[in-house]
Amino acid sequence: MPYIVIPGQLVLKGALYDEARKIATKITLTVADELKKNGFDKVVIADSHAAMVNLLVDDLPEYVEIVRGFPRPLSMVAGVEGNDAAIFLGYHAKFGTAKSTFDHTYSGATVNKVEINGTVASEFLLNAYVAGELDVPVIMVAGEAQLIKDDVKRHAPWIETVALKESLSRLSARSPSMVVIEKELREAVRTAVSKLKHKKPPALIAHTPVKTRVTFITSLYADAAELLPTVKRLDALRVEYTSNNMAEAYKTFELLAIAAMGLFRMLDTLR
């Protein structure tokens, strides 16, 4: 999201968390409003950062439904099934991306890399694969400029994009005014919807069976991951498993990430 550049904007008790909530809510409801104006009678919002209870819900329009809380089936794309299209808002680059604000993949504290069938995946690609498997194409992505350049344009150049920030470092970025951002978001929604009405765009779909490889930040998290019988330990940091489909692969990855985060929190209490 634009203007969000320090850890104090990211967590429930952060000093500037309320500011971040207002920014995220404004961006999200701007897109929802434009979707309504362009013929959609329902918009399902999946609140998907951290504990997944970030958006302000006091003034949600009647055509909006919201999915909140964690853990939940299919995590960031919970509720995507049955919809005509998906839009991803506030997306960041994958772990290890230089000069990219808050670069991480799903769990910044525990996960170094996720590979789907040999391709290093960002959260954009993970979620797009799940949506695609459920016959829901992603028609628009708004987020960090490097994510758009590295992943969206590479894997799905037909998707409409809006750069909400140009990162200068991991904790700094340059963003346009909210007035400019709103205009760009509305224009992108109109273009994306027009394309959708003309011809349903292709969906990103992972080949099956899906081979997932996860590289953790420390060996402790791989120790926990290999306790799952379907998971094979490759070396100190890497594990691998094979799934029948992307939804199954995603759920297993979510479980591994939750287990690793549980260990991360446990170690915190022992210090």
Top-confidence residue, 267 or 88: 88
Name the residue type at position 90.
G
In the prediction, which pLDDT does 256 show? 98
Size (the chain), residues: 271
Q: Is the pLDDT of residue 20 over 90?
A: yes
Q: Which residues partner with 162 through β-bridges?
A: 142
Q: Where are the beta strands (DSSP E) in 20-158?
A: 43-46, 64-67, 86-91, 111-116, 119-120, 138-144
Q: Name the strand (E) or helix (H) holding 239.
A: strand 238-243
Please count the other Cβ atoms lying within 10 Å of the Cβ belonging to residue 236. Answer: 11
pLDDT at 6: 96
> For position 133, what pLDDT does the model report?
97
pLDDT at position 175, please?
98
91 vs 78: CA distance, rounded Å: 16
Domains within the chain, CATH numbers bracketed: 7-105+122-198 (3.40.50.10780), 210-270 (3.30.1360)
Over residues 81-95, mean pLDDT:
97
Task: Judge contact between 162 and 142, C-beta under 8 A.
Answer: yes
Q: What is the pLDDT of residue 130?
A: 98
Report which secondary-structure segment, H or E, holds 92. Answer: none
Residue % of the chain over a pLDDT of 70: 100
Asked if residue 153 has pLDDT above 90, the reply is yes
Distances 1 to 91, 192, 215, 225, 250 between C-alpha atoms, Å: 7, 20, 27, 32, 24
Model pLDDT, residue 59: 85
Closest CA to 221 of 237, 206, 202: 237
Provide the sign of the torsion angle of the four alpha carbons 191, 93, 25, 70, taken in this order: positive
Return the pLDDT at 162. 98
> Is the pLDDT score of 251 beyond 90?
yes
Give the model confidence (pLDDT) of 190-246 as tens digits. 999 999 999 999 999 999 999 999 999 999 999 999 999 999 999 999 999 999 999
Confidence at 40, pLDDT banded by 50, 70, 90: very high
Is 163 in contact with 89 (CB distance < 8 Å)? no
- Confidence band (pLDDT; 50, 70, 90) for 271? confident
The reply to whether omega before 201 is within 30° of 0 (cis) is no
- Across all residues in the chain, what is the average pLDDT? 97
> Which has the closest alpha carbon to 237: 254, 219, 260?
219
Residue 268 pLDDT class (50, 70, 90 cuts): confident
